Amino acid sequence: MLVKNTDAYFDYLTGLYNRLYLFENFSENINEFIVVFLDIDDFKYINDTYGYEIGDEFLKKFVRRLSKIVGNRGKVFSYNADKFLVLFPKENFKDIYEKVELLFQKLKEIIIVGDIEIACSISIGIYITEKDDKIDDAIKKAEIAMQEAKQKVKGQYVFYKHQIEKEKMRKANILTELKKSILRNELYILYQPILSVKGNKIQEVEALLRWNNEKLGEVSPVEFIPIAEETGFIREMGFWVIEEVCRQIKEWEKKNLDLKVAINISPNQFKDKMFFENYKYIVKNNNVKFSKIKFEITETQIFKTEEKTVENLLEIMKLGTKISLDDFGAGYSSMKNMILIPCSEIKIDKIFIDYITKDTKIQNLIASIIHTAHRLGYDVIAEGVEYKEQYDKLLEYDCEKIQGYFISRPIGEKDIIKFIKRRSS
């Protein structure tokens, strides 16, 4: 349906009817159609790599192919640059899966512009309209489905479900409220005791960030941490945690409680060039010894960091702050990482601990990890220990630190003092 026309109803580059035409001519009967929202994945990369002239030719060829596939079975519209809409009449509802699959497969084929072969990937969202739908809501729902397709893995198609929009709204609400969380004093830290087997003492704890919002209630870290990572708010939140931990260490010192605190550090914090300088400033400003703090870092995030980050880690270790390799065994080439990554300690992932009493292969693996770590001069923590049988096995393998519900759940700062007093008595 390519039309060469400079009228306001047409997209100048592709000749397709545009969004203005769509809204003026289909607002009253949008509920007679199935809305298909298409987005070319990484089109910016094509422009940046080959230039805008090639990018424009690519779009023209893409649109010719799209229009040919749809034919007279539907209507194609240019929505916004590399985004397109297709309306299929509802009377062909039974064929919609077949049509979308055909679109998906044919549009993935390579497009040749001059002597350049460009691989094409698209994400598609499909919304089957309902009786009282307004056109902007129908398009929005198709776009939400498309975004869900992109978020899963680019080059997919997804049918709209109400649950998707509900999750999107939940995420938007979390983001809005999260940005106010520090000013409102809604963030707080729980501390999970770590048992040092030698001497049967609690000498360190792990700081675990929590959030209680006046509108959303208690929000799980599984929900809010990824959103903080995605938006960059993790940087501000991370410094708040370090500041709060330093304050707490000083409070415990006043009560003659000598505890080290482990802090989880995220990949995005590593990307912040000022992170390590700010860390040193906060610790010194609070008059806390660097040796009182430990960073927990996952294997996978280390390999995504730059060489400068590794240098900073070495500098931090020289100051006295230990580096713990968290979730050990969950990443790739774990044994190799013990040698390549600068660290003081490894933390065996809970997935192994769950099977330590059930699987001899897992038992042998854990024993080997602990033995190798000790030979390299590293301490070993087992996390997620929930039962005495697991605890006993770990003692058998000479694991020197134990963390998990068998020792204690994460508890508040005041409860830490009570917990340690109970154990010592």
Residues 131 and 180 in one domain: no
Contact 179, 187 (CB under 8 A): no
**Can you tell me the distance from the alpha carbon of 288 to that of 118, in angstroms, rounded to the nearest whole number?**
56
CATH no. for residue 418?
Answer: 3.20.20.450
What counts of helices (H) and strands (E) characterise the chain? 17, 16
In tens, the pLDDT along 75-131 reads 999 998 899 999 999 876 667 888 888 888 888 888 999 889 988 889 999 999 988
On the CB side of 397, CA atoms within 13 Å amount to 29
CATH number of the domain to which 75 belongs: 3.30.70.270
Residue (of 352, 335, 342) closest to 390 by Cα position:
352
Token readout for 110 is 């390579």
Residue 39, amino acid: D
Strand partners, 275: none
Let me know whether 243 and 127 are in one domain. no
Amino acid at 365: L
Same domain? For 101 and 140 the reply is: yes
Q: Is residue 12 part of a domain?
A: no
Residue 77, strand partner residues: 17, 85
Query: 167 lies in a domain?
Result: no
Same domain for 353 and 231: yes
Is 63 found in the same domain as 144?
Answer: yes
Instruction: Tell me which H or E stretch contains 227.
Output: helix 221-231
**182 and 148 together in one domain:** no
Please provide the size of the chain in residues.
425
Residue 83 backbone phi and psi in degrees, to 5 = -115, 140
Percent helix, strand, coil in the chain (nearest 5)?
50, 20, 30
In a domain, 11, yes or no: no
Tell me the per-residue pLDDT of 279-331, one tens digit each, with 9 for 90 and over: 999 999 999 999 999 999 876 665 555 566 677 778 888 999 998 988 776 55
State which H helix or E strand residue 157 sits in.
strand 157-159
Assigned token pair, 392: 């006993």
Parallel, antiparallel, or unpaired for β 157-159 and 122-128?
parallel
- Tell me if 206 sits within 8 A of 403, measured CB to CB: yes
Query: What is 313-345 written as a DSSP string?
Result: HHHHHHHT-EEEEEEETSSSSHHHHHHHS--SE
Same domain, yes or no, for 250 and 107? no
From first to last of its 425 residues, the chain has per-residue pLDDT tens of 444 444 789 998 999 999 999 999 999 999 999 999 999 998 989 989 999 999 999 999 999 999 999 988 899 999 988 999 999 998 766 678 888 888 888 888 889 998 899 888 899 999 999 888 999 999 999 999 999 888 877 778 899 887 777 778 888 899 999 999 999 999 999 999 999 998 899 999 999 999 999 999 999 999 999 899 888 899 999 999 999 999 999 999 999 999 999 999 987 787 777 888 999 999 999 999 999 999 998 766 655 555 666 777 788 889 999 989 887 765 544 566 666 677 889 999 888 999 999 889 999 999 998 998 999 899 999 999 999 999 999 999 999 999 999 999 999 999 999 999 888 76
Nearest CA to 70 out of 34, 93, 47, 102 is that of 102
CA 284, 289, 292, 293 dihedral sign is positive
Range of the domain at 149: 19-160
Alpha-carbon distances of 207 from 138, 164, 266, 351, rounded to whole Å: 45, 33, 14, 21
Provide the strand spans (E) within 268-315: 293-298
Assess if residue 6 is contained within a domain: no
How many domains in the chain?
Answer: 2
Q: Is there a single domain that holds both residue 112 and residue 231? A: no
Residue 300 belongs to some domain of the structure: yes
Distance CA 32, CA 88 (A): 9
Both 117 and 188 in one domain: the answer is no
Q: How far is 80 from 7, CA to CA, in rounded Å?
A: 17
Token pair in block for residue 118: 């460009």
The tokens for 75 are: 């209507």
Q: Is residue 2 part of a domain?
A: no
User: Quick check: 294 and 313 in contact, CB under 8 A?
Assistant: no
